[in-house]
Amino acid sequence: AQSVTQLGSHVSVSEGALVLLRCNYSSSVPPYLFWYVQYPNQGLQLLLKYTSAATLVKGINGFEAEFKKSETSFHLTKPSAHMSDAAEYFCAVSYSNYQLIWGAGTKLIIKP
């Protein structure tokens, strides 16, 4: 079965430091890939998506992700963390025309 793995249920970084959230998917077939963010007590909001165009994808709030087919990865990065980035981040993969396969999520903690 296809799966999505997010390494680390919690990631803690200092304000101003690099943010790196990892996502790996299981299939060799190139999928469509998404990162969603969930702020406390809110729904999920699309951060960015890869749909087979450029492999480096820029999203909202200074986040970006790079699709690496050889590594089956789609890691999310931000050069400098801000307190407002504290949230839970979900990676999701689409192979079919209806289903998203979700990672378990990573909570990003920003230390002052």
Partner 1 sequence: DADVTQTPRNRITKTGKRIMLECSQTKGHDRMYWYRQDPGLGLRLIYYSFDVKDINKGEISDGYSVSRQAQAKFSLSLESAIPNQTALYFCATSDHTSGSRNEQFFGPGTRLTVL
Binding site residues, partner 1, CB under 8 A: 9, 31-32, 34, 36, 42-46, 49, 51, 90, 94-100, 102-105
What is the signed CA dihedral for 10, 105, 45, 49, rounded to 10 degrees? Answer: 110
**Residue 84: CB minimum distance to partner 1, A:** 19
CB nearer to partner 1: pick between 38 and 77: 38
CB of 51 to partner 1, least distance (A): 5
DSSP string, 31-93: -EEEEEEE-TTS-EEEEEEE-SS-SEEE-GGG-EEEEEGGGTEEEEEESS--GGG-EEEEEEE
Both tokens assigned to 31: 């999928």
- Residue 92 C-beta: closest distance to partner 1, Å: 8
d(CA 27, CA 1): 9
Smaller CB distance to partner 1: residue 77 or 94?
Answer: 94
**Cβ-based nearer residue to partner 1, 18 or 46:** 46
Q: Which is nearer to partner 1, 17 or 86 (CB)?
A: 86
Q: Is 30 helix (H, G, I), strand (E, B) or coil?
A: coil
**Minimum gap (Å) between residue 79 Cβ and partner 1:** 26
